[in-house]
């Protein structure tokens, strides 16, 4: 069956967004040397589960119903959700959906990055109730 193989973050301020994701999650973000302005995002080691993505400048206004490309919610696996919720806020992000249990799966919260993109973070925990 088809799987998500790449994600893309749209940003008004590339340097601000780059700093947010590097500081919070430790991702490696490097400018692509191709024909368009684009940054490649490496989220972890190739042999570990997960996907890599990219970042590009938002071409129109912020996320919303009238925006051609608004947002796609991706959820990021984290080892300690409380630590990452603090890091997100410390680096200019916001928590939009407080931490809640997904029974038998883990803990989930939704946040906004510095560019008003929503994303999820989840700490696996089979005992979550």
Alpha-carbon gap, residue 100 to 71, rounded angstroms: 22
Closest-CA residue to 51 (of 2, 6, 8): 6
Alpha-carbon gap, residue 71 to 30, rounded angstroms: 21
In a domain, 72, yes or no: no
Q: pLDDT of the chain along its 129 residues, tens only? A: 878 788 989 899 999 999 999 999 999 999 999 888 999 999 999 999 999 999 999 876 666 556 555 566 789 999 999 999 999 999 999 999 999 998 988 999 999 999 988 899 999 999 999
pTM for this model (two decimals): 0.82
In a domain, 66, yes or no: no
Q: Tell me the residue range of the domain where 39 lies.
A: 1-60
In a domain, 121, yes or no: yes
CATH number, domain with residue 85: 3.10.180.10
């Amino acid at each position: 069956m088809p799987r998500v193989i790449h994600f893309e973050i749209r940003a008004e301020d590339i340097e601000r967004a780059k700093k947010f994701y590097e500081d919070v999650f430790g991702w490696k973000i490097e400018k692509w040397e191709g024909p368009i302005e684009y940054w490649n995002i490496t989220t972890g080691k190739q042999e570990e589960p997960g996907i890599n993505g990219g970042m590009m400048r938002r071409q129109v206004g912020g996320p919303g119903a009238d925006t051609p490309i608004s947002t796609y919610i991706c959820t990021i696996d984290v080892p300690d959700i409380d630590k990452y919720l603090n890091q997100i806020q410390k680096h200019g992000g916001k928590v939009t959906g407080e931490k809640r249990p997904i029974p038998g799966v883990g803990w989930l919260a939704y946040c906004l990055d510095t560019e008003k993109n929503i994303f999820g973070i989840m700490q696996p925990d089979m005992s979550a109730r």
